[in-house]
Amino acid sequence: MTKIISFYLPQFHSIPENDAVWGKGFTEWNNVKAAKPLVKKQYQPRVPLNNNYYSLLNEDTILWQTDLAKKYGVYGFCIYHYWFSGKLLLNKPLELINKSKKIHFPYCICWANESWTNAWSSNKPKSFLEQKYGDKAEWKEHFDYLARFFKDPDYIVEDNKPLIVIYRPESIPQLNEKLDFWNSLARTIGFDGLEYAYQQMDFAIDPLSDDSRFKYSIEYQPRYALQDIESQKSKTKQIIKKVLRTTAKMSDKTLKTSIIEKREEQKKQKDLTTPPQIFSYDEVCEAILQRYKTSDKSVAGMFVGYDDTPRRQNRGLIIQSTPESFEKYLTMQLKNIQKHYTTDFLFLFAWNEWAEGGYLEPDQRYRYQYLESIDNALRKTRTQNNESR
């Protein structure tokens, strides 16, 4: 049976670094509470059921989350991890899960290897902590920190290899050397290496990428589907774009230019008066269902919904769902996975991305209906599997 792993955001407690940039006591809830509808029929603001604006420094909160996930059929969490040359951010919830004697729930780590910026809230992005990758001494320091989680009996391990997701492998200069080094360190503590997966689409579509160290390529939704939709609308445009991107990558690598970086900055400086981009949930999910594995590494994705206007305001993207539409397409995607994929994971956006409109946790409008949709979809799939035997 397919195992649903939900991405999990730990930014629901304050840290000094966020306080310094956004104001004392800032958490993701600040964005959620400040949200306003920008277009007709937009579901904003989103309010947690019983005004449960929780803190992830509370062990009972995380126990409540994991109990809910178990009850409704979520297999595990993929928890974001932030490391800046030995400096940790938002690490307390992950460490609490690791140390708790009450919380027992499968999880893995996604290293969110991006610079700490205000890009999602400003048309003039500023970096506050730059993501650097260091030398072998730092690689070892980073591994030694992660090892405590790998050794946790609740950590997701396959074939004696702990699973770790890397958000943007294309950003790591000595990628293969680093991953090989981590494999060797894993063997010194009793594992047979690490099981690597990558999340972002840029690595998958870059013809210069070497994914030989990775077992899994996660189809991070809805991004992959949006790319597929755009590709179908303008194949010629995409070919030209791919050629230009490849040329820019080669130039950046050989001539030490920064074409890709400047293009990304230009995208982020989009006019704030432009209305948010809107897609139909049906259209995006139909594109997901048209996507089959591109290799045995492919891991299917799905998404609850998407609306990042609480973070990005007019520069945001809106894809609104209902519990009924989510259940319908999740059920179809589970069938699609059994038919067209060789892996039994489904990575779901998301458990608690409240400021990006992707969450399973109960809110005031739908209460537990999205969680019930997971349970219903899994039950339907099991029933159909039994009937077909």
For residue 359, list its beta bridge partners: 352
Structure tokens at 48: 């947690």
Q: How many CB atoms lie within 10 A of CB 350?
A: 24
3 state SS of 198: strand
State the residue for tokens 């890709």. 260
Q: Residue 96 carries which side chain, given as an amino acid letter?
A: L
Tokens standing for residue 366:
């739908």
Continuous segment of H or E residues that includes residue 319: strand 317-319
**What does the CA dihedral 160, 165, 171, 175 come to, rounded to 10 degrees?**
10
Per-residue pLDDT at 92: 98
> Are 196 and 166 a contacting pair, CB within 8 Å?
yes
Q: Is the peptide bond before 125 cis (omega within 30 degrees of 0)?
A: no
- Block means of pLDDT (10 residues each) for the chain, 389 residues, are 97 96 96 97 98 98 98 98 97 98 98 86 75 97 98 98 97 97 98 97 88 97 95 68 68 67 58 82 98 94 98 96 98 97 97 98 98 98 85
C-alpha distances (whole Å) from 280 to each of 165, 171, 317 are: 29, 32, 11
Residue 39, helix vs strand vs coil: coil
Q: Name the packing angle between helices 136-150 and 92-99 (round to 10°).
A: 50
pLDDT of 249 reads 66
Report the b/e string of 234-259 with b at 16+ CB within 10 A.
Answer: eeeeeeeeeeebeebbeeeeeeeeeb
Calculate the CA 98 to chain-centre distance: 20
- The confidence score (pLDDT) of residue 246 equals 72
User: Helix 92-99 vs helix 59-72: angle between axes, to the nearest 10 degrees?
Assistant: 70
Amino acid at site 339: K
- Spatial distance between the Cα atoms of 11 and 8, rounded to a whole number of angstroms: 9
Cα–Cα distance measured from residue 73 to residue 387, given in angstroms and rounded to the nearest whole number = 21
Whether omega for the bond prior to residue 153 falls within 30 degrees of 0, making it cis, is no
